[in-house]
């Protein structure tokens, strides 16, 4: 039994919403009935009433086998780095705490999963992430120290080990205070403005890809599926991203521009304020249909203390067509600042300036029939799951899993 593979698939399944798991497992298990049965059994144990109390007993035998068969880099030396311990992982990558012996600093090393090392597309996407992040210098974007290769096919990225938590973990504790949520959104918008000015679209803005440091500085993580101008790694029909945070044009596989990130940022702001996503659904097709044609309840109906101005901002951010929503991250930021709230921003923060708004290209072609797209997304969710670099539920201190 390949327990390492089971661990990877189980981790990836637990990181996803229940509605997305079946499609993910169909793709990840690749027809291996034995692995699928083992993962399904572990997921069922996790979901049973009282599972929290019994999970250790249910999972202990498998966990022991996973530990005994998994290949760990802990305690080894990789280039100039002394690898200390694993601190996170998911379907595509695993992250270790490590010491850079040259400078005596602690870093996060993100490795491509070994079984993906021979996958040319995955390796090229990993290298693209390094080139993409390495070319961006901004306080609200995760810094990249370097890219290296532990052995043939074993690529890694070296990044800072930030002290903080993902926005996903912050939201899990309940709705975020209004001023704090707006301040976080403004910082994300500023990081996106920098990326968009360089022709880079993130394409997977979501709470697990945003880290808030201990001193309140927001860091955008995981540009692993970013679309760099002039770089194409997938066919025109491939859909990349995370269902629930995708813009309508992204969900339909249409051509994208930077405004897809502004939709996703609107979803994140809504979730911070409401404590839930604006487009929920029990199945991938239901979520897709809500994204394509549903109108979320105004946040002020769910949380009366939210000022009406925020409802108007969210309505614009979540416009169904690119032309109907904000045309630049700077415009999004200006409206948020215009609310006049006592924002919780880090020391030294100033409103954006100097960078001209990104000019939007013409809107994508008319969307295909929505019911066809919604049905197709049930299958596409599995493809997305393996393509997405984000590691939902990243632990505290994780830089960019």
Beta 154-160 vs 164-166: how paired, if at all? unpaired
Q: Which two tokens stand for residue 114?
A: 């070994």
Residue 137: CB atoms within 10 Å: 10
Q: Which two tokens stand for residue 269?
A: 């702001």
Helix runs in 83-237, H state only: 120-134, 167-172, 178-197
Q: Is 58 a catalytic residue?
A: no
| Total residue count of the chain as it appears in this document | 401
In whole angstroms, give the CA distance from residue 189 to residue 195. Answer: 10
Q: Which residues lie closer than 8 Å to 29 by C-beta, 6 or more apart? A: 9, 35, 36, 39
Catalytic residue among 26, 163, 204, 335: 204
Q: CA 401 → CA 35, 158, 191, 215, 309, distances in Å?
A: 24, 11, 19, 21, 35
User: Phi and psi dihedrals of 76, rounded to 5?
Assistant: -100, 165
Identify the CA nearest to 153 among candidates 125, 119, 177.
119
The catalytic residue positions are 204
């Amino acid at each position: 039994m390949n327990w390492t593979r089971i661990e990877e698939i189980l981790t990836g399944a637990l990181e996803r919403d229940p509605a997305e798991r079946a499609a993910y497992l169909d793709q990840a298990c690749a027809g291996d009935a034995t692995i699928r049965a083992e993962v399904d059994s572990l997921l069922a144990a996790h979901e049973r009433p009282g599972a929290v109390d019994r999970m250790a007993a249910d999972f202990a035998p498998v966990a022991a086998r996973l530990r005994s068969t998994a290949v760990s880099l802990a305690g080894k030396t990789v280039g100039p780095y002394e690898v200390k311990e694993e601190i996170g992982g998911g379907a595509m990558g695993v992250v270790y705490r490590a010491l850079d012996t040259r400078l005596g600093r602690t870093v996060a090393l993100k490795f491509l999963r070994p079984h993906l090392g021979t996958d040319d597309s995955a390796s090229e996407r990993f290298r693209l992430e390094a080139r993409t992040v390495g070319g961006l210098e901004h306080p609200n974007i995760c810094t990249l120290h370097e890219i290296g290769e532990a052995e043939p096919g074993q690529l890694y990225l070296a990044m800072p080990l930030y002290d903080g938590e993902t926005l996903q973990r912050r939201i899990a504790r309940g709705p975020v205070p209004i001023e704090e949520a707006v301040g976080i959104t403004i910082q994300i918008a500023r990081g996106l403005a920098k990326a968009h000015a360089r022709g880079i679209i993130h394409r997977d803005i979501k709470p697990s890809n945003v880290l808030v440091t201990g001193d309140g500085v927001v860091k955008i993580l995981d540009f692993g599926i970013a679309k760099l101008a002039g770089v194409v790694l997938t066919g025109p029909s491939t859909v990349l991203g995370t269902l629930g945070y995708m813009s309508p044009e992204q969900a339909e596989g249409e051509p994208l521009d930077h405004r897809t990130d502004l939709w996703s940022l609107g979803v994140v702001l809504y979730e911070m304020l409401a404590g839930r996503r604006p487009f929920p659904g029990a199945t991938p097709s239901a979520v897709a249909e809500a994204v394509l044609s549903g109108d979320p309840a105004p946040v002020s109906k769910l949380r009366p203390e939210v000022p009406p101005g925020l409802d108007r901002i969210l309505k614009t951010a979540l416009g169904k067509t690119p032309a109907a929503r904000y045309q630049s991250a700077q415009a999004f930021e200006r409206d948020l600042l215009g609310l006049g709230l006592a924002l919780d921003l880090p020391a030294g923060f100033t409103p954006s300036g100097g960078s001209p708004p990104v000019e939007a290209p013409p809107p994508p072609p008319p969307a295909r029939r929505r019911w066809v797209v919604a049905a197709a997304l049930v299958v596409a969710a599995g493809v997305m799951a393996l393509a997405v670099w984000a590691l939902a539920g990243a632990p505290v201190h994780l830089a960019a899993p």
